[in-house]
Amino acid sequence: MTAPQTTRKQSPIAQAWLIMYNVAMTAGWLVIGLGIVNHFYKHRTHKGLYRQVEKQLLFFQTAAIFEIIHAATGIVRSNVMLTTMQVFSRVGIVWGVIQPVAQVHNTEGIPMLMVAWTITEIIRYLYYTFMLLGTTPYIVVWLRYSLFTVLYPLGVSGELLSIYNSLKPVRDSQMYSLFLPNQLNFSIDYHIVLIGTIPFYFIFFPQLYFHMFAQRKKLWDLDLRLLPRKQTDSSILDYLIHVVQPIRNNCMQCEKMKQCCVYGFYSSIVFLRKKMKYDILD
**Catalytic site positions:** 152, 159
Separation in Å, CA 239 to CA 26, 126, 223, 233, 270: 25, 22, 26, 10, 11
Residue 92 half-sphere exposure toward CB, CA atoms < 13 A: 14
Burial group, residue 171, by CB count within 10 angstroms (0-12, 13-18, 19+): middle
* Listed residue (90, 66, 104, 106) closest to 1, CA to CA: 90
Distance, first Cα to last Cα, the chain: 23
* Listed residue (50, 58, 263, 229) closest to 134, CA to CA: 229
Q: Are 224 and 13 in contact (CB under 8 A)?
A: no
Q: Are 246 and 264 in contact (CB under 8 A)?
A: no
Q: Cα dihedral angle (71, 72, 74, 75), rounded to 10 degrees?
A: -50
